[in-house]
Structure 1
Amino acid sequence: MKRIGAIAAFEMKRMFQKPQSFLLMFGMPLLFTFIFGGLFSEGEENKPIISVVDLDNTLLSKTLIDEVKSKGLVDFYIDDSQTADLKFNDQKISGYVQLNSGFEIELLDNKTPEVVFVSQASFEGATMIEQIINDSIVKIQIGVTASSFYQKVTGEELKVVQDQIVEETSGIPTSVETVTVTKSNEVATMSNLTARSAGFTIMFVMISMLISTGVLLEARQSGVWYRMMSTPVSRTELLGGYLLSFFLIGWIQFGILMLITKVVFHVNWGNLLANIVLVSCLLLCTIGLGLFIAGFVKSSEQQSVFGNLIIISTCMLGGVYWPLEIMPDFMQQAARFVPQYWGLEGFTELAARGGNILDIIYPICVLLIFTGVFLTIGMKRIRFE
């Protein structure tokens, strides 16, 4: 064990002595997460911005505005006509709603008032805004009809009854309750930032492992392997030392990236024990893939070229760069045959659904099957004589 530990320590020291290693292992994953994960949009709802031009300025026109605001689906700002036009032309708002003079009078006369909604051609939420406005007008019309009937029955002033009904109904919450099904109350959905953070961490760990396993080919090319074999160290101890160094390097990279994204980007990775098991299985699979590729090439340069091509293409297929849901069905099915897919499945279960180690048994088993296949073929094909 001492010899295995010494070899592992030497390889780790050699790896971290290179300044470019830190850029590849830590700088690039964080940069890609920043670009593809939408760092600054994390936690923001990105609601469309709509201006309201109230030319009627009456109780019912204000009631309509308050009713639409209460939906919480858009950000409404009260502007005059000139300001709204200026913002619209400068594309600072998605559109504007104009309530014409006589809005309240038409409602009191049991007429449907005309509301003008002007939107940008690129605004996809126009139909939603129209529906919200129509629903709100219907609700106000019901209130007005009720107040008119109540006024006739009781003889109270219409204005008083109307104000009372508006006051009573304005605070009524929506009748639809949104329930998020999750195993933990800590997180409900896996944000784009979390998904991309997990995905790019996997990708750059795989690239780093590819470089690390290429050391075996470099040792054969440079004759280092033969010189080490002349010492009292056995081949098993040499391989054990190298594999241990690969595993520890991968864990250092994965662990630091997870810690940074948790502290700085507020990414919640979920259950600690389950993450340790999942990351360990993923690293073993990645090491196996590196040895598998090394078994089919003749030099470390060839391994770098073909290995990066394989890793990047399978990362695209496995959902690292974008959600799998946007891909065609046949590609979603093909993604099941790459380890990145199962790694992301495990992280999704832990980070988005609050799962534990029992909930990721299936992804872990699949990753271990990949590991067994890669290591078996890779170890058989690598030759050092």
Structure 2
Amino acid sequence: MRRITAIAAFEIKRIFQRRRSFLLLFGMPLLFTFIFGALFTGDGETRPKISVVDQDRTEMSQILIEEIKNAGAVHIKMEDGESASEKLANQEISGYINLEKGFQEEVLNEGTPEIQFVSSPSFEGAGLLEQIINDSLVKLQITSAAAGFYEETTGEEAGAVREKISDELASVPAAVGTVTVTKSADQQTMNNLTARSAGFTIMFVMIAILSSTGVLLEARQTGVWYRMMSTPASKAELLGGYLLAFFLIGWIQFGILMTVSEWLFDIQWGNTLANILLVSSLLLCTIGLGLFIAGFVKTSEQQSVFGNLIIISSCMLAGVYWPVEIMPDFMQKAAKFIPQYWGLEGFTELTARGGTISDIIVPIGILLAFTVVFLAVGMKRVRFE
């Protein structure tokens, strides 16, 4: 055991002597988390920008515009026709709404005014915005018709009645309530920043461990492995020392990234013991994958190229870069055959639902199953003589 720990300590020291290792191990995961987490977080700054060209400039047109604003789906800005067209052509906005002259007159006459919505072909929210415009217009027409009828019946001014009706509608409580289901009262809801942090931590830990496992091939290429086998240490002790080093390097990276992301991004990782078991399973799986790839390549350079290609592409499919839910159905099914998917499933259970060890047995079990397969094939194919 002393020889195993000595080999592991030497390899860990060698890894952290390289300055660029700190960038790969810690800098890149935090940078990618910040960029992609902010990109997919649905705050007000990421809403589509829509311009409104109000040629009517009447009370009714202003009411409609306010209704669309209050829906909160898009960011509204007033423009003239020429400016809106130019911004759409330059892709500065996703589209613009055009209200023609005579809009108020048409509404007061209980007609249906024509509203144009011009958008770029790439704007996927066009259908939603069209529905919001139609709903707002119907609400305006109903309010106007009711105010007109009330004015004829009571003689009260229609404008005042419309204002009363609008105030009453605005004060009606929402019919649908949102309930977040968690298993811990203190658990925060998982947002995209948390998901991306877990995902990129997994990706860069896998890249780092894969790079570390390439040391075995490098040792064979340079003859270091043969010289080490001439020492009293057995082959099992040498291999055990390297595997322990890879495991500890992964834990150092994971532990620091989890701590820093909690401090920087206020990410709550959940149950500590459950996280230890999940991360350990993921690290063992990654080490197994590294040996698996090493069994099919001849040099450490080949392992780095093919390994990074496999990890990055599989991370995309597993939901590291973006939520799995936005991908086609067949890709969502394929993602279940990738270790990173189950790692993210485990972190989702712990961070979003406040789960415990019993709630992540399935992800851990699947990761360990991947580990057994990878190690069995890798240990059989890797040759050091």
Shorter-normalised TM-score: what interval? 0.7 to 0.9
Q: Distance in 1 between matches of 2:303 and 2:120?
A: 51
Aligned-residue RMSD, C-alpha? 3.5
TM-score (norm 2): 0.81
**Which residue in 1 is equivalent to 2:274?**
274
Aligned to 2:74: 74
**1:283 & 1:252 partners in 2: Cα distance?**
11
Aligned to 1:375: 375
Distance of aligned partners of 1:71 and 1:297 in 2 relative to their CA distance in 1, 3 Å threshold? closer
Moved more, 47-56 or 321-330: 321-330
Deviation of the 1:209 alpha carbon: 1.9
| Counterpart mapping for 1:235-254 below 5 A | 235-254=235-254
Matched residues, percent identical? 66
| Residue 295 (structure 1) shift | 4.4
Which residue of structure 1 lines up, in the alignment, with residue 364 of structure 2?
A: 364
Residues 268-347 of structure 1 aligned to structure 2 (within 5 Å): 268-295=268-295, 299-321=299-321, 323-325=323-325, 329=329, 331-347=331-347
Counterpart for residue 348 of structure 2: 348
The aligned residue for residue 131 of structure 1 is: 131
Q: What amino acid sits opposite 2:109 in the alignment? A: D
TM-score with structure 1 length normalisation? Answer: 0.81
Contact 2:286–2:371 (CA under 8 A) maintained in structure 1: yes
Q: How big is the shift at 1:271?
A: 3.5
Distance 1:227 1:94 in 2: 65
Aligned pair in 2 of structure 1 residues 227, 90: CA closer, same or farther (>3 Å)?
closer
Query: Counterpart amino acid of 2:49?
Result: I
Structure of greater Rg: 1
Distance 1:254 1:97 in 2: 49
Task: Give the distance between the partners of 2:163 and 2:324, measured in 1 at CA.
Answer: 52
2:97 matched residue in structure 1: 97
CA distance in 2, matches of 1:92, 1:300: 46
Runs of 4+ deviating beyond 6 Å = none
> Does the residue aligned with 1:97 lie in a helix, a strand or coil?
strand
Q: How much has 1:249 moved relative to structure 2?
A: 0.7
Contact 1:51-1:76 at 8 Å conserved across structures: yes
Distance 1:212 1:150 in 2: 79
In the TM superposition, residue 248 of structure 1 has moved relative to its aligned partner by 0.7
Cα 1:101–1:211 shift into 2, 3 Å: closer
Deviation at residue 363 of structure 1 after TM alignment: 0.9
Contact 2:49 2:75 in 1 (8 A): yes
CA distance in 1, matches of 2:140, 2:329: 46
Amino acid at match of 1:209: I
Give 2:239's aligned amino acid.
Answer: L
Seen in structure 2, the aligned counterparts of structure 1 residues 223 and 93 have a Cα distance that, compared at 3 Å, is: closer
- 1:375 corresponds to which letter in structure 2? L
**CA pair 156-308 structure 1, distance change in 2 beyond 3 A:** closer
Alpha-carbon distance, 1:361 to partner: 0.7
Residue matched to 2:64: 64
| Match status 1:209 vs 2:230 | no
1:349 to partner: Cα distance = 2.6
Change (3 A) 1:137 1:251: same
Q: 1:58 to 1:305 in 2, by over 3 A?
A: closer
Change (3 A) 1:318 1:74: closer
SS at match of 1:264: helix
- Give, as a single letter, the amino acid of the residue that structure 2 aligns with 1:149: F
Aligned residues: 383
CA contact under 8 A between 2:25 and 2:208: conserved in structure 1?
yes
State the Cα distance separating 1:365 from its structure 2 match: 0.7
In structure 1, the partner of 2:111 is 111
Deviation at 1:258, TM superposition (A): 3.0
**3-state SS of 1:113 partner:** coil
Q: Deviations over 1:187-225 (max 9, x none)?
A: 44552x544443343233223223323333444455544
Q: Flag the 1:250–1:151 CA change in 2: closer, same or farther, 3 A.
A: same
TM-aligned CA distance change 1:170 to 1:59, over 3 Å: farther
Q: 1:256 to 1:164 in 2, by over 3 A?
A: same
User: In the alignment, is the contact (CA less than 8 A) between 2:247 and 2:284 conserved in 1?
Assistant: yes
Q: Distance between the aligned counterparts of 1:305 and 1:41, measured in 2?
A: 29
Judged with a 3 Å threshold, the aligned counterparts in structure 2 of structure 1 residues 24 and 161 are, in CA distance, closer, same or farther, namely closer
Secondary structure in 1 matching 2:336: helix
What's 1:44 paired with? 43
**1:107 Cα deviation (Å)?**
2.9
Per-residue Cα deviation, 1:263-299 (whole angstroms, up to 9, x for no partner): 3355554433322211111111112222334445555
CA distance in 1, matches of 2:331, 2:156: 68
What residue in structure 2 maps to residue 9 of structure 1?
9
Q: Which amino acid aligns with 1:206?
A: M
> Could you tell me how far apart the structure 2 residues matched to 1:112 and 1:328 are?
38
